Structure 1
Amino acid sequence: MAIGLTRGLCLAAALAFGWSTAASAEVSTVRLAKQFGISYLPLTVIQEEKLLEKHAKDQGLDVTTEWLRFTGGSGMNEALLSGNLDFAAGGVGPALTIWGKTRNNLKVRGVAALNAMPLYLVTTNPDVKTIKDFTSKDKIALPTVKTSIQAVTLQMAAEKAFGEGQQNKLDPLTVSMGHPDAQIAMMGGKSEINAHFGSSPFQELELKDPKAHKVLDSYDVLGGPHTFNLVWASTRFVDANPKIVTALVAALEDAMQRIKTDPKAAAELWIKAENVKMPVEDAVAIISNPQNEWTTTPKKMLAYLDYMNRAGLVSTKTDDWKELFFPNIQNAQGS
Structure 2
Amino acid sequence: MPKSFKTVAASVGLGLSLLAGSLVAPTVAHAEGEIRIAEQFGIVYLLLNVVRDQNLIEKHGKEEGIDIKVDWTQLSGGAAVNDALLSGSIDIAGAGVGPLLTIWDRTHGKQNVKAVASLGNFPYYLLSNNPNVKTIADFSDKDRIAVPAVGVSVQSRFLQYAAAKQWGDKEFNRLDKYTIAVPHPDATAALIAGGTELSGHFSNPPFQDQALKNPNVHVVLNTYDLLGPNSPTVLFATEKFRNDNPKTYKAFVEALTEAAEFAQNDKAAAADTYIRVTKSKVDRDELLKIIDTPEYEFSVTPKNTYPLAEFLYRVGAIKNKPDSWKDYFFQDAKPLQGS
Q: Compute the TM-score of the two structures, normalised by the length of structure 2.
A: 0.89
Q: Is the aligned partner of 1:181 residue 2:201?
A: no
2:281 matches 1:277: yes
Per the alignment, residue 19 of structure 2 pairs with none
Percent of pairs identical after alignment?
41
Residue of structure 1 in register with 2:328 after alignment: 324
Tell me which residue corresponds to 1:114: 119
Give deviations 1:186-207, integer Å, cap 9, x for gaps: 1111321011001000111111
What is the deviation of 1:334?
0.9
What's the CA shift for 1:33?
Answer: 0.6
Which residue does 2:169 correspond to in 1?
Answer: 164
Conservation of the 8 A alpha-carbon contact between 1:322 and 1:330: no
Could you tell me whether the CA contact under 8 Å between 2:33 and 2:248 is conserved in 1? no
- Alpha-carbon distance in 2 for matches of 1:89, 1:225: 20
C-alpha separation between the residues in 1 aligned to 2:262 and 2:304?
Answer: 25
CA drift of 1:293 comes to 1.2
Do the aligned partners of 2:129 and 2:217 also contact (CA within 8 Å) in 1?
Answer: yes
Contact 1:206 1:212 in 2 (8 A): yes
Q: SS in structure 2 opposite 1:159?
A: helix
Aligned AA (1:175): I
1:77 corresponds to which of 63, 77, 82: 82
TM-score (norm 1): 0.90
Provide the rounded CA distance (Å) in 2 between the counterparts of 1:277 and 1:331.
Answer: 33
Residue aligning to 2:265: 261
Counting only pairs closer than 5 Å after superposition, residues 211-290 of structure 1 correspond to structure 2 as: 211-222=216-227, 224-290=228-294
1:297 Cα deviation from its structure 2 partner:
0.9
Query: SS of the counterpart of 1:122?
Result: strand
Aligned residue-pair number: 310
Distance 1:160 1:236 in 2: 38
Q: 3-state SS of the aligned residue for 1:144?
A: coil
In 1: Cα distance, 2:181 partner to 2:117 partner: 26
Secondary structure of residue in 2 paired with 1:232: strand
Q: Equivalent residue of 1:181, what SS?
A: helix
Cα distance in 1 between the residues matched to 2:84 and 2:155: 21
SS at match of 1:65: strand
Indicate the residue corresponding to 1:93 in structure 2. Answer: 98
**8 Å CA contact 2:169, 2:315 repeated in 1:** no
User: Which residue of 2 is the match for residue 35 of structure 1?
Assistant: 40
Q: Is the 8 A contact 1:149 1:228 kept in 2?
A: yes
Of 132, 138, 143, 1:138 maps to 143
Q: Indicate the SS of the match to 1:194.
A: strand
Q: Quote the Cα distance in structure 2 between the aligned partners of 1:326 and 1:158.
A: 31
Does the CA contact (< 8 Å) of 1:112 and 1:329 recur in 2? no
